[in-house]
Structure 1
């Protein structure tokens, strides 16, 4: 996986989100996701929403993803 592919998956799953993904080794990534739909949700719920956009790629194609999330 590339950081661009991860960014596109998150943006497709969370329309209107601002997403920035870092990581160049193909398995370990960092993502910052700013999304209006996170408003009123705890960080764990926000992270679950992001992980849902990645589906079965987590743990298979993406070994580790460090998340920073916040509402827009």
Structure 2
């Protein structure tokens, strides 16, 4: 599913399109996981604020984000931490 575009850019693009966030931060946290399988590649943190999450439980918010990133999980994203508000 990788289009040749860096994974971080693909994450940002998909989340922008799916949620029109008022705040979006996508960080590559691979450096925190050096020595792990794959040398920490594919570890990301997402902080997102969107009206689309209003009234949704934290689990539902995470599921919405995973759905938006379908195809990137295990194909560029190894681990994803999420702060969705």
TM over 0.5: yes
Instruction: Tell me how far apart the structure 2 counterparts of residues 6 and 63 of structure 1 sit (CA, whole Å).
Output: 13
In our comparison, the structure showing a higher alpha carbon Rg is 2
Instruction: Tell me how far apart the structure 1 counterparts of residues 14 and 82 of structure 2 sit (CA, whole Å).
Output: 15
Unaligned 5+ runs, structure 2: 1-5, 31-40
Unaligned 5+ runs, structure 1: none
- Secondary structure, counterpart of 2:45 in structure 1: strand
Match of 2:42 among 5, 27, 32: 27
Q: Which aligned runs of 4 or more in structure 1 are off by greater than 2 angstroms?
A: none
- Superposition deviation, residue 60 in structure 1: 2.3
The number of residue pairs the alignment matches comes to: 69
State the partner residue of 1:48.
63
Asked if residue 8 in structure 1 is aligned to residue 23 in structure 2, the reply is no
Asked if residue 67 in structure 1 is aligned to residue 72 in structure 2, the reply is no
